[in-house]
Structure 1
Amino acid sequence: MTDRTYCIIGAGPCGLSLARAFRQAGVRYEQFERHSDVGGIWDTQNPGTPMYHSAHFVSSKTQSGFLGFPMPDDYPDYPSNRQILEYLRSFARTFGLYEGVRFGVSVRDVQPDGREWRVTFSDGQERTYAGVICATGTNWEPQVPTYPGTFTGEARHSVTYSHPDEFRGKRVLIVGAGNSGCDIACDAARNASAAFVSVRRGYHFIPKRVFGQPSDAFAAKGPHLPRTVERTVMQGLLKLVVGDLTRYGLPKPDHRLFESHPIVNDQLIHHLSHGDARIKPDIARFEGDEVVFRDGSRETIDLILYATGYTMNIPYARPYFEWRSERPDLYLTVFNRQHRNLFGLGYLETDAALYGMADWMSHMLTRYLQDQAQHPGETRPFDTLIRHDRTDLSGGPHVNSPRHAMYIEHRAYMQHLRTLCRRLGWSEPDTAALSTPVRPAAAPAATARGDLGVTA
């Protein structure tokens, strides 16, 4: 390739995936991370991380690793946040990615500069790049709902939650029943003097283990059925394994299975069945230290924890992305439709583990940039696809909510990527090659700007 240099912002899982792809393809890059180490949200020392002590992977280890770099055999089926952090750092060490990261530097602003991009950093430096890849994650800006009245107890978002000891001796209300909300509700059930969970709608719960193996591993081994058939089979299976959850106070789902992101959790059902936690409807209003719910019931509460999600944002480059329901509208969730060589990586909602998908995204981005370098100044077929291809990758209808506005079903997504590779004459990711570390032939010469470019 040419000597053009690209800027990777962030050294979490997606940034690391791309760094490996760039290094192995010989793409010159500089990578910046505001924290002192790699790992993104999985590092509990990273200011602003939503990670909490009891957090584990929702997907199982055999389905969750990077391509060519499986998680260790001695990891449990569902690794803890500490094990995931060590896995990410082991990945970075194995593939020599640390040497390409400048730590302790954040990005203040990204601006177009002709056909290049000018990046302003927190240390005041400005650098110009052939392209910028934003990989700074999605769980940094909490969404906090508002309700009528005044609450005189303690109320905060789950991004501030760290350890179950915070619940001891308190009457706790968890607002929201996503996967994190259910995890935190289990902490409250075990440690609070009383635990309640406020939910607006019913959800489909999938147990973490089915027939003695992780549910996602079980699904991966089975035949890939049409969605309508798969839904019928899975609903029948869940009826046998999980049963009718309305008897625990949970609302009946107002949507079919797979039309919303399911909850992968069976501990909350355990606690509900033992009375350690209780389900409450949506909040109607506050009256001092009491929370009044929409069914007219009320509870005295000491602590409200809002597990109500996050707003996706790319604050340093927001004007240059199209936004739909507060999600960046990107082709294949990566390619900016309006601004050449400004990319996003990891800004998606999906039903599967991210790391393998991130490797595919990194591969497609790398091949695109290689194509640019080999045919400079030409309009390539992929450029037309970026601007105009609106293939539905959601896998079917979903509930009308911001979370599902840009939802990606991994099976539809992967099938589409493979079809694109064949159509464009691009190879697919080579897992065997990805497993082989590549070291720089020589350290790049430093310049007056303090370049940290890395080449294969």
Structure 2
Amino acid sequence: MTEQTDVVVVGGGQAGLAAGYHLRRLGIEHVILDACAAPGGAWQHTWDSLRLFSPAAYSSLPGRLMPVQEGQPYPGAAHVVDYLADYEKRYELPVRHGVRVAAVHRDATFLRAETDRGDWRARAVISATGTWGRPFLPVVPGRGEFTGRQLHTVQYRSPAEFAGQRVIVVGGGNSGAQIAADLTGHAHVTWVTRRPPRYLADDIDGRALFDAATARRRALDEGRTDTGGVASLGDIVAVPPVRAARDTGLLTAKPMFTRLTATGAQWADGTRSEADAVIWCTGFRPALTHLAGLRLRGTRGHIATDRTRAADEPRLHLLGYGDWTGPASATLIGVGRTAREATRELALLIR
């Protein structure tokens, strides 16, 4: 059976909900198809101790401030899940949970979304699937030889399962620093990074990051010098647990090893470190396999965009994948602005 609507939104996390909010305000018929069985997007699958970089008031979707989490200046992931579930319900957004979109195809004047629960034909599609579903693992010599446990950020939950073990945490970004800090005191941690860790100033949080990303986009749009945006400030937000581990000397990074061995890692100078587990905090790539049939990717796998609109398919917008789809668009506070711009452009297309 094929159903029809004006806009299909693929993904019911923060970006998909922000799109739904603005589509609803514009009176555009739409449906939000979400592979997750319950509300909350990727936030319901993160590690237990994860916290936002910003206070609740600066972590809100359009129309509804996130409530303060009592006793916590920076809300935890479970609080975000509750907020997103409430947001979905409050605005009566047409989310269909447990529906996985396998592919999007052109269908005459429509786009057709093939799902495991039937197809949808729409005049436009907003892809808002994020990156959590596509973890990146680097090619490292010996990775297949290591006999211990290997997992990615997406599979890490709590330090309890690594109690007393020797754990190598790979990655110099926020997830690497946070997970390494989370494990200190529970496991014997070796934190490795490709370059020395770059901490943002201790007083910088998500508010400043959003402002920096916005200023960079404005400068580029106006033809001025690139400010460098968030990358110019550093790689790691010094949230309280990271700051505490760093200041007590428990969070000291080693250079990246040259290879894994059967029982651990080896560095260029011949130094070895035994390990029971390696946690790869090595980032993500946009989850865009459902768009492969549209043949929009360039030689490097990137879909060219004009802000959020796909350059070669005006009926498709990409929302929430990072700065290439809008300043800070992969954040709660940042995605609202780009969602508003995308839905306004679609309103002109549809009407």
TM-score range, shorter chain: 0.7 to 0.9
Match of 1:265 in 2: 238
Q: What SS class does the counterpart of residue 43 from structure 1 fall into?
A: helix
3-state DSSP class of the match of 1:130?
A: strand
The corresponding residue for 2:49 is 54
Q: Do residues 131 (structure 1) and 104 (structure 2) align?
A: no
CA distance in 1, matches of 2:81, 2:236: 23
Q: What one-letter code is carried by the residue in structure 1 that aligns with 2:236?
A: I
**Match for residue 361 of structure 1 among 329, 338, 350:** 338
User: Is the 8 Å Cα contact of residues 311 and 326 (structure 1) preserved in structure 2?
Assistant: no
Runs of 5+ unmatched residues, structure 1: 45-50, 228-254, 375-456
Pairing of 1:137-156 with structure 2 (within 5 A): 137-149=130-142, 150-156=145-151
**In the alignment, which of 282, 287, 306 is matched to residue 331 of structure 1?**
306
In the alignment, the residues of structure 2 paired with residue 206 and residue 28 of structure 1 have an alpha-carbon distance, to the nearest angstrom, of: 43
What residue number does 1:452 align with? none
CA distance 1:143–1:60, shift in 2 (3 Å): same
Q: Give me the CA root mean square deviation.
A: 2.9
Given residue 63 of structure 1, which amino acid in structure 2 is its aligned partner?
Answer: Y
- Give the total of aligned pairs: 329
Alignment-derived partner of residue 30 in structure 2: 29
Structure 1 residue 62, shift from structure 2 partner: 2.5
2:60 matched to 1:65? yes
Change in CA separation of 1:195 and 1:147 when aligned onto 2, cut-off 3 Å: same
Deviations 1:215-265 (A, max 9, x none): 45578899x9999xxxxxxxxxxxxxxxxxxxxxxxxxxx99843752102
Structure 2 portions without partners, runs of 5+: 218-227
Matched, 1:195 2:189: yes
Letter aligned with residue 356 of structure 1: I
1:75-154, aligned counterparts within 5 Å?
75=70, 76-97=72-93, 100-123=94-117, 125-149=118-142, 150-154=145-149
After TM superposition, the structure 1 stretch with the greater mean CA deviation from structure 2, 322-331 or 137-146, is 322-331
Q: 1:167 to 1:277 in 2, by over 3 A?
A: farther
Deviations 1:404-452 (A, max 9, x none): xxxxxxxxxxxxxxxxxxxxxxxxxxxxxxxxxxxxxxxxxxxxxxxxx
Indicate the residue corresponding to 2:280 in structure 1: 306
Aligned-partner SS, 1:205? coil
Q: CA–CA distance in 1 between the matches of 2:236 and 2:257?
A: 21
* Match 1:280 to one of 254, 261, 267: 254
5 Å matches for 1:319-398? 319-320=293-294, 321-323=296-298, 326-332=301-307, 334-349=308-323, 354-374=331-351
Q: Could you report, residue by residue, the CA deviation over 1:62-96 in whole angstroms, capped at 9, with x for unpaired residues?
A: 32212332121455321100111111112112211
The residue aligned with 2:221 is none
Q: Which residues in structure 2 correspond to 1:176-325 (within 5 Å)?
A: 176-192=171-187, 194-208=188-202, 210=203, 215-217=205-207, 258-259=231-232, 262-265=235-238, 267-320=241-294, 321-323=296-298
Q: Secondary structure at the match of 1:183?
A: helix
AA in 2 matched with 1:294: A
Are residues 94 and 175 of structure 1, via their aligned partners in 2, closer, same or farther at CA, if it must alter by over 3 Å?
same
**Distance change >3 Å, CA 216–CA 311, structure 1 → 2:** closer
Q: Give the conservation status (yes or no) of the 8 Å contact 1:59–1:353.
A: no
| Structure 1 partner of 2:223 | none
The answer on whether the counterparts of 1:312 and 1:326 sit within 8 Å (CA) in structure 2 is no
Residues 147, 283 of structure 1: 8 Å contact kept:
no
Q: Tell me which amino acid in the other structure corresponds to 1:56.
A: R
**Which AA in structure 2 matches 1:35?**
C
Q: Is the Cα–Cα contact under 8 Å of residues 53 and 206 in structure 2 kept in the other structure?
A: no
Say which SS state the counterpart of residue 185 (structure 2) adopts: helix
Show CA shifts across 1:171-210 (max 9, x none): 1110002101111001111210x111111013421255x3
- In structure 1, the partner of 2:42 is 41
Distance of 1:260 and 1:325 partners within structure 2: 27
Matching residue of 2:20: 19
Measure the CA separation in 1 of the matches of 2:161 and 2:270: 28
- CA-to-aligned-CA distance 1:330-379 (integer Å, 9 cap, x gap): 211x10110120121111145587233322222212221222244xxxxx
SS at match of 1:35: coil
TM-aligned CA deviation for residue 119 of structure 1: 1.7
Paired letter, 1:259: S
Q: Which amino acid aligns with 2:35?
A: R
- Once the two structures are TM-superposed, the CA of residue 118 in structure 1 deviates from its matched residue by 1.5
Q: TM-score, length-normalised on structure 1?
A: 0.66
Measure how far apart 1:157 and its partner are.
1.6
Contact in 1 for aligned 2:56/2:69 (Cα 8 Å): no
Q: Distance in 2 between matches of 1:281 and 1:74?
A: 37
What is the CA-CA distance between 1:272 and the residue it aligns to? 4.2
Asked if 2 retains the 8 angstrom alpha-carbon contact of 1:32 and 1:101, the reply is yes
Which deviates more from structure 2 when the two are superposed, residues 85-94 or residues 358-367? 358-367
1:295-328 deviations in whole A, cap 9, x for unaligned? 4322111111110111213111124333575543
